[in-house]
Amino acid sequence: MPLEGKAFRDLRLKLFNLENKNKPLQGLGYFPQKHSATGTTIFTVMSALAQQYNAINLSQGFPDFHIDPQLSQALGDAARNGFNQYAPMAGLPPLRQAVAANFKKRYGLDIDPENEITITPGATYAIYTAFTSILQAGDEVIVLEPAYDSYIPNIEMNGAKVVPVALTAPGFHVDWNKVKDAITPLTKAIIINTPHNPGGSIWNKKDWDELAGLVRDTDIVIVSDEVYEQLVFDGMKHYSVLEHPELRQRSFAIYSFGKVYNCTGWKIGYCIAPPAFTQAFRRIHQFLSFTVNTPAQHALTYILSNDTAPAIHEVMQKKRDHFLSLMKQIPFTIYEPAKGSYFQIAGYERISDLPDMEFAQWLTKEHGVATIPLSPFYSNKKDDKLIRFCFAKKEETLNEAVERLKRLV
Ligand code: PMP
Ligand code: GLN
């Protein structure tokens, strides 16, 4: 006769030796540890500290200036015009069509809006969903570090194992021999991020060819986080995985409208992937969020077709250049100007020998400027004594931050 109720529970506890793990229903100890990250994400920690100490917040990556008024107008119009109910699961068809037209215009690529594009509540969600659609317990995923802080927890939450490979610091380029050595028969995926957060580096075509050479004749999937694709400076070009015909067949490419239209708080992005990958992605997506904020999808459709603002890379490059010229007065070491993204890396060895976490906290509390230390972007918390400044800010914000930093001199 099958055991029921308490008897079953008691037997299970005994069999799996769980008696001592049966913690009270309170405190984190009770809940299963789904990933290895301890504590709160560094972006929340540093933004909260900035607020507490009234510091200029150059830590978390978000613009502090207004969005294009056309975009806020379009959002209000959509809500007023009654577009307030669920949008289709894969995203509003006109938005997917506008994304496809935009990729045709900018990259010359043909993307099928029906079968290859899914609108998502942000890029972080799309990365998680891509991982969830491919990973099983025991799989390995190669992560190039420093890495955006959601990747590792997202992989672990799917029961897979992270195989970290360090980028060369401080230039943040890929050492292809290290990647080759990290590949095993269990490797299921590699996550790429170009332009790179936090490093500000970008991949060239040769990098993609190297990757293609390593994954050829394997079933390794590429998850390509390209949220900063439109933030590339000095006339350089972003190479998308979608432009590599061989890799495109095995890739999820992930984007965020937040970084293009300065609306990070809207949390809307999209995933472009071949039809079979898109099907697998939507199998998960339909039961996670199902769909995405409808009025915002209407507004983004409008702006994609009617954008009159200057290209965002020009706006952001001016900010980077302004910030770098101001920083010449302060003894931070700029190894390389950021080639892309919102972020500039700097060394502080001429200012302090504190560990990077302590240095960033000290700078916030004592000098009123919040930044992000780099060690949280490494699984082994490697401390290269580097911090990350976000320059996606108003000129006056950058001026005031550097005025405060001058007290360091
Ligand atoms: N990937 C990287 C590298 C990022 O910096 C960010 C920044 N937020 C994201 C993904 C997430 O984008 P979203 O806000 O659209 O989730
Ligand atoms: N992507 C942003 C950064 O790197 C922050 C996103 C977040 O706060 N999770 O700063």
pLDDT per residue as tens digits for the range 355-374: 999 999 999 999 999 999 99
Report pLDDT digits (tens) over 87-106.
999 999 999 999 999 999 99
Report pLDDT digits (tens) over 128-166.
999 999 999 999 999 999 999 999 999 999 999 999 999
Q: Distance (Å, rounded) from C-alpha 110 to C-alpha 7?
A: 60
Q: Distance (Å, rounded) from C-alpha 264 to C-alpha 282?
A: 23
β-strands 187-193, 140-145 pairing? parallel
* pLDDT at 116 exceeding the cut of 80: yes
* pLDDT at 19 exceeding the cut of 60: no
Look-up: residue for tokens 């209407």?
A: 298
Q: Distance (Å, rounded) from C-alpha 237 to C-alpha 251?
A: 20
* pLDDT at 29 exceeding the cut of 80: no
319: its two tokens: 């900010």
Ligand 2 atom 9 nearest Cα:
43
Report pLDDT digits (tens) over 55-85.
999 999 999 999 999 999 999 999 999 999 9
Strand partners, 243: none
Q: Which ligand lies nearest to the CA atom of residue 194 in the structure?
A: 1
**Any idea which fold 42-67+311-408 has?**
Aspartate Aminotransferase, domain 1 (3.90.1150)
Backbone dihedral region for residue 272 (phi beyond 0: left; psi -120 to 50: alpha; all else: beta): beta
Confidence of residue 3 (pLDDT cuts 50, 70, 90): low
Which residue from 42, 43, 145, 197 has its CB within 8 A of the most atoms of ligand 1, so it is best to mutate?
Answer: 197
Confidence of residue 170 (pLDDT cuts 50, 70, 90): confident
The amino acid occupying position 191 is I
87-306: which CATH architecture?
Answer: 3-Layer(aba) Sandwich (3.40)
Q: Where, residue-wise, is CATH 3.90.1150.10 in the chain? A: 42-67+311-408
Q: Which ligand lies nearest to the CA atom of residue 197 in the structure?
A: 1
Confidence of residue 212 (pLDDT cuts 50, 70, 90): very high
Q: Where, residue-wise, is CATH 3.40.640.10 in the chain? A: 87-306
Report pLDDT digits (tens) over 251-300.
999 999 999 999 999 999 999 999 999 999 999 999 999 999 999 999 99
**What does the pLDDT read at residue 2?**
57
